[in-house]
Structure 1
């Protein structure tokens, strides 16, 4: 990182809030230099810190440019994995809170006074989408089991009060903007104008076709889940027998990605070949009625505290459940 380069904004997610779309829009904008992959070292350090009761965030790290910025470009750091961690890892709220604080602290040591953008999504919709992501990343739970086993992950990831206070501690609450992703769907121009007024990052060309990270269709998701179960059985047996070389584990990860991306955008030939198998697999039981109403109400209270006297661009009732 060059000391004379000013960071215009850090976008920390949340996950599943059209972050891939945002990143691709900034990536194709010649006025912006996007840093995404270059933040992985920081995230990994914060992940290690989150799993330990001892603070490990005191050692300064560096982020790397994905591509060298040109003079005058606005530098935008965008990485949804800065907002939460440990999906499918049965992490506690304490683990995730330590991760969130470590990520903010490390970044504050190496990034001079940026604006912080947090994008959010209506809680029930987010929970459904993050379950989809869980399976794409190797999860084997049905939706009801995911709600039970990953309860702490869901609650802390959606604790907007904690997230805003944590990042505000290091960057100042006045330097944080929370935007609903529903605004981008309804009024892209206004969404990006708000970002421009907040950070100076210019409004991108909104006519460009942009790739996204789509949720997998439910009929394909159950096949992805079954594949994950096969891998899990193989891995557990191999670990028990101490017979899984590192190269085999790496190969399994590559195969999982190949299966995932094939099912996200399946060809007509693939659809024909998997149709019979999919028809015989049990559903993932994705029904929002499985979300405990009291649990969801507690999440909505977090938004009520943040959105006091704030219409939230017309989406306050959607988030707060009123």
Structure 2
């Protein structure tokens, strides 16, 4: 039995990768999170394969699949699997459609694979993804961000946070019995993960689903979100210094993630960490500025668009609850930015 953790983003993905999947003694984790590093796969071949799985068009991926398949399968030991939040949605326009990702995963892992999906109230998720986009160089305010998402809804990630639709696509390939759906709000209280008798309830549920023993693994706080005050400062800084998303449609996001692919295609990037260096400097500066400035990011969005989004997500959540018997918290049906 294999496993695939598909996210969603801003739902403990990095923490689970670094602290759980890569450290549990009964799992053979292919990535991400190997050696406690959020960008790490088990080895270079796996990195090239899975980053290509997310991004390469079929004509290119076919060659990569043929070249690397034997090497990838040589790492299939014990209960092996992958964790990547971009297997549930796309953060940037350089990725392929979700159906292509699922088909490629199915061809590699097979039907007897357990799928773990952790969801979150869509409005909260959009706010978190906006702040994550600021960390990637975005230079527009929240109003324009939501407006752009909705105007481009036929190809933006809005379609992929209609959870019932994405889960249906995975169900069609892997079967409903192999899917675990976790609303993260049911496992948190006052910002902390719930415990019973000293055991983390979330990890207990995942271990039971994967049929592995519970191990007393400490979860650390990885990739924390910006505060609203830090987000305000970073937005202003992003309009002065251009990196990643700020460079335009054809710019790669987080170029350092492509290091193994660049080597594979024999492309010499003189400073692959250039943008991430700028990002880290600006994040530190935004944090410093926020300590002495009370201004916060404004989450105002066009009321007409907000109402349309509410209708779209509430309908999706009602189907999710009905079709999969999921007990969703009230904030999945009463949404506000």
Which bin holds the TM-score, normalised by the shorter protein? 0.7 to 0.9
Q: Is residue 223 from structure 1 mapped to residue 222 from structure 2 by the alignment?
A: no
Report the equivalent of 1:319. 332
Distance 1:219 1:137 in 2: 17
Q: Is residue 77 from structure 1 mapped to residue 86 from structure 2 by the alignment?
A: no
Aligned with residue 160 of structure 1, among 163, 166, 169 = 163
Please give the root-mean-square deviation of Cα atoms over the aligned residues, in Å.
3.7
Distance 1:108 1:44 in 2: 15
Distance 2:283 2:145 in 1: 22
Q: Pairwise mapping of residues 1-322 of structure 1 onto structure 2 (< 5 A)?
A: 6-7=1-2, 9-23=3-17, 24-35=19-30, 36=32, 37=41, 38=46, 41-49=49-57, 60=65, 62=68, 73-87=78-92, 89=93, 99-112=97-110, 113-151=112-150, 152=153, 153-186=156-189, 187-188=194-195, 189-206=200-217, 208-232=218-242, 250=272, 252-259=274-281, 262=284, 271=288, 274=289, 279=293, 283-287=296-300, 292-308=306-322, 312-313=326-327, 315-321=328-334
Indicate the SS of the match to 2:209. Answer: helix
Structure 1 residue 287, shift from structure 2 partner: 4.7
Distance 2:325 2:169 in 1: 23
Contact 2:243 2:278 in 1 (8 A): no
In structure 2, relative to structure 1, the CA distance for the partners of 1:57 and 1:247 (3 Å cut) is closer
TM-score (norm 1): 0.73
Segments of structure 2 that go 5 or more residues without pairing to the other structure are 33-40, 251-267
Structure 1 residue 175, shift from structure 2 partner: 1.4
Indicate the SS of the match to 2:182. Answer: strand
Which structure shows the higher helix fraction? 1
Contact 2:7 2:13 in 1 (8 A): yes
Indicate the SS of the match to 2:180. Answer: strand
Distance 1:177 1:39 in 2: 26
Structure 1 residue 115, shift from structure 2 partner: 0.6
In structure 2, relative to structure 1, the CA distance for the partners of 1:275 and 1:320 (3 Å cut) is closer
Report the equivalent of 1:243. none
Distance 2:212 2:283 in 1: 32
Distance 2:90 2:323 in 1: 31
In structure 2, relative to structure 1, the CA distance for the partners of 1:196 and 1:316 (3 Å cut) is same
Structure 1 residue 150, shift from structure 2 partner: 2.2
- Once the two structures are overlaid, the 10-residue window that deviates more, 33-42 or 10-19, is 33-42
Alignment: residue pair count? 284
Distance 1:40 1:223 in 2: 36
